[in-house]
Amino acid sequence: MKLLVTLKMLLIASLLIMCTGKAGAQDVVVKSNLLYLATATPNLAMEFATGGRQSLVLQGGWQPWEYSDTKKLKHWLVQPEYRWWTCETFNGHFFGLHALGGQFNAGGLKLPFGAFPELEDHRYQGWAAGGGLSWGYHWMLGRKWGLELTLGLGYLYIDYKKYPCPGCGSAEKDANRHYVGPTKAAINLVYVLK
């Protein structure tokens, strides 16, 4: 419950900060992370130029579906980010500072590259919050379209319960974990609003 209040406050503060900058015709873009879409997670981000070579992003994703009684990857994620651009806003290299938070309920899945092998025979339910640093590059594909690559590293605090099988039982473990590593990966399709 405390996490939800904190995440709501972070979301409200991010929205207020984004509304304080200038917002002209080419100062707002919308985008979707194609990698996140590959996990069947609808997601959307809005980015606002705040003057000079700076911008603020608010990104979110939500996957409410269960694949079956034994397979699920239900989650939501909010990820605000401050960006500093080396040349001009929405063009070229940028460096960012991001936060993130969300909840998850996943189990019965075999992930690619052997990632999280215990997820195949167990279910994990909980929340995570953290932040990190990012780098990215934005290519203009035309007057209104762009493509963006972003990678980030950082820290996550993960609080979870582990269940013995994907769709059953009482929790066999109630724990938390401190994670340091990749916290952001995106290939964004970008559209400039006018």
Strand partners, 14: none
Predicted pLDDT of residue 15: 47
Q: Which CATH number is 2-192 given?
A: 2.40.160
- DSSP letter (8 states) at residue 4: H
Instruction: Kindly indicate the confidence band of residue 3, based on its pLDDT and cuts at 50, 70 and 90.
Output: low
pLDDT of residue 20: 44
Please report, for the chain, the start and end positions of each structural domain, with discontinuous segments joined by +. 2-192
3-state DSSP percent of the chain in helix, strand and coil, to 5: 15, 60, 25
Among 13, 41, 4, 44, CA closest to 28: 44
Whether 4 has a pLDDT exceeding 70, the answer reads no
Do residues 155 and 180 touch, judged by C-beta distance below 8 A? yes
The dihedral through the CA atoms of 33, 39, 44, 48 has a sign that is negative
Mean pLDDT of all residues belonging to the chain: 86
Look up the pTM and report it.
0.80
**What's the mean pLDDT in 97-124?**
88
Residue 187, pLDDT > 90, answer yes
